[in-house]
């Protein structure tokens, strides 16, 4: 798996708490309540805190970006294999989803 972003010099670390749900229930909720549909998917690995073991571990997951094509609202979800339908954890959500406008700062 490419790790080019990880090849850079680390200047710090952050951690967070992400709400997790049955993936199928979350997917249906995003569709019916927010009119967000799957827009982008990928496979990834992220360092996450194992709350049971109290240690950081690399976790493989699928990544889904759900988007509302009318309002440009979005939800970024990690999907991990657990339970019958998988677990979907909301990593981020927001407004104004769109293409990157290229400038000298990017």
Residue 76 counted as domain residue? yes
- pLDDT confidence of residue 34: 96
Q: Which domain holds residue 27?
A: 17-94
- Res 7: pLDDT: 62
Ranges of residues in the chain with a pLDDT under 50 are: 1-2
In a domain, 31, yes or no: yes
- Residue 2 is assigned to a structural domain of this protein: no
Query: Does 26 map to a domain?
Result: yes
* Residue 88, pLDDT score: 93
> What pLDDT score does 81 carry?
83
6 in a structural domain? no
pLDDT of residue 12: 72
Cα–chain-centroid distance for residue 18? 10
Distance CA 23, CA 87 (A): 5
The sign of the CA dihedral 42, 46, 49, 52 is positive
* Model pLDDT, residue 1: 46
**Domain annotation covers residue 27:** yes
For residues 17 and 55, the answer to whether their CB atoms sit within 8 Å is: no
Does some domain include residue 48? yes
Helices (H) and strands (E) in the chain, counts: 1, 5
Instruction: State how many domains the chain has.
Output: 1
pLDDT at 50: 72
- pLDDT at position 103, please? 66
C-alpha Rg value of the chain to the nearest Å = 15
Considering the domain boundaries, does residue 101 fall inside one? no
Confidence at residue 79, expressed as pLDDT on a 0 to 100 scale: 92
Statement: the pTM of the whole predicted model exceeds 0.85: no
What residues pair up with 90 in beta bridges, in sequence order?
77
């Amino acid at each position: 798996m490419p790790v080019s972003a990880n090849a850079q010099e680390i200047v710090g670390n952050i951690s967070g708490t992400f709400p997790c749900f049955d993936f199928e229930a979350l997917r249906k909720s995003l569709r019916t309540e927010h009119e967000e549909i799957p827009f982008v998917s990928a496979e990834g690995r992220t360092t996450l805190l194992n709350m049971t073991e109290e240690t950081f571990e690399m976790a493989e997951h699928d990544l889904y970006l759900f988007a509302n094509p009318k309002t440009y609202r979005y939800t970024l979800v990690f999907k991990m294999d657990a339970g019958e339908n998988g677990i979907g954890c909301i990593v981020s959500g927001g407004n104004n989803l769109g293409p990157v406008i290229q400038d000298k700062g990017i």
